Amino acid sequence: MASTEQFPSFETPLFEVPVLKPVTGSFCSFTKLPVELRRLVWTSYLQRQRIITLQLTRRTEPFDPPYMVETKRLYRHSTLLFVNREARRAAQEFFSLRIPCDNTTAPLYCSPAFDTIFIHQGRHQGLEFIADFLPKLAKHDSRGVGVLNLAIDRVALEDLERTRSEGSRFAKAPVIDQLDTPALRAFTDAICRLHSLWIVYIESAKTRQMGALDFVRAGVHHNRSVPVFPEVQTFQRLPADSRPIETDLRYVGTRHSPRWAIDTWRELEAQLQVVRKTPLEFRVMLTVDSNRQIVDRSTAQNYFKEDERQFREECCRRFNLNLPPWGHCLDREEWEDLRGRLQDVVGFWLFTPTAFDESSYGWDIVRDLTRHPPELCVSDLGD
């Protein structure tokens, strides 16, 4: 059973969301339409959800601010900015937020209503940079709105997590003592304006390729349901993942504890005395890092083929296990059935915080999330 040739070779189809594709060619009568109708066409084209990744990096020399703002993942400007004067004007009105970056000459054109700003930063920096950066974005918005949809990775909460883990559950978050009163008020106001907050877990490939020693209580399992994060921004958000993912939801591995991060954020809001007019849409975002490999459908297919190969070579045969590709969690019939029906996805899952209410605080643990099916966000890889 050690030879991969004993098992059938499967294609790796990608999960696709039915979308209206633009018709090729030209519509010569478009310029004859009333200007109001043409604006509606431009705006309709622009109204797509995106996730824009920024990295806040500490500067090596004293500077104000003490961090650099950089685009971490490939950012693509809207094509309407380059079509003609009318289209560019429509895009500029739609993208009211212009975020200046240190590693680009042009700002990032963003829409507070449709874009989620994902602020990524290095370890052991806490919320210090985010607390300074977030309120400033309202000044770069022609409508004075700033960020309405925010995503942060869990390392931003490490300082407060560390404080809580040392037994001082109700100790102040370090960022509260680091900011003066006006800055603290501005940070609190920015949090109050948020419509949604995602705590991001971009896990390693081991979340899909579970080996015998990778997670507590895991065994060997190829969790093909977990989406993989690409280098593109646009995505379509679905209310549920319609694929047959029930088996894989019993074996969702995370290196860190989402419950800890959820409790930490809630405690921070309580300390800041955050008051909102509408409830915050709070989610845990879970995906696997593609290591900048996925930029289109072709690179996605290559990634998933390599993912399959690595699982068989490194997980099924590591430590001379000589396991078949269905591992410990499936029998052959289940594996063959899922191989025929389960499609790989480029994008990410969104879980409600209640999915982790009863989960352990521990690290490197497989969690059973079958009672909490996630939303599915499918990235747009083009044709």
- Return per-residue pLDDT of the chain as tens, 383 residues: 344 445 555 566 888 776 555 555 555 677 777 877 888 888 888 999 999 999 998 888 888 888 999 987 678 888 888 888 888 888 899 999 999 999 988 899 999 999 999 998 766 577 889 999 999 999 999 999 999 999 999 888 877 776 666 555 556 777 888 888 999 999 999 999 999 999 999 999 999 999 888 887 778 999 999 999 999 999 999 999 999 999 999 999 998 889 989 999 999 999 999 999 889 999 999 999 998 889 999 999 999 999 999 999 888 877 667 889 999 999 999 999 998 899 999 999 999 999 999 877 778 889 999 999 999 999 999 75
Residues 249, 273 contacting (CB under 8 angstroms): no
Q: What is the largest CA-CA distance in the chain?
A: 71
CB 113 within 8 A of CB 148: yes
Pairing of strands 149-153, 196-203: parallel
pTM over 0.85: yes
Q: Do residues 299 and 379 lie in contact, with contact meaning Cβ atoms separated by under 8 Å?
A: no
Residue of 246, 231, 195, 189 whose CA lies nearest to 347: 231
- pLDDT given at position 17: 77
The enclosing H or E element of 367 equals strand 365-367
- At residue 306, the pLDDT reads 95
- Tell me the helix, strand and coil percentages in the chain, rounded to 5: 35, 20, 45
Quick one: pLDDT at residue 1? 37
User: Can you tell me the distance from the alpha carbon of 287 to that of 349, in angstroms, rounded to the nearest whole number?
Assistant: 6
Helix axes 128-136, 181-193, angle to 10 degrees: 70
Q: What is the pLDDT of residue 273?
A: 93
pLDDT of residue 155: 84
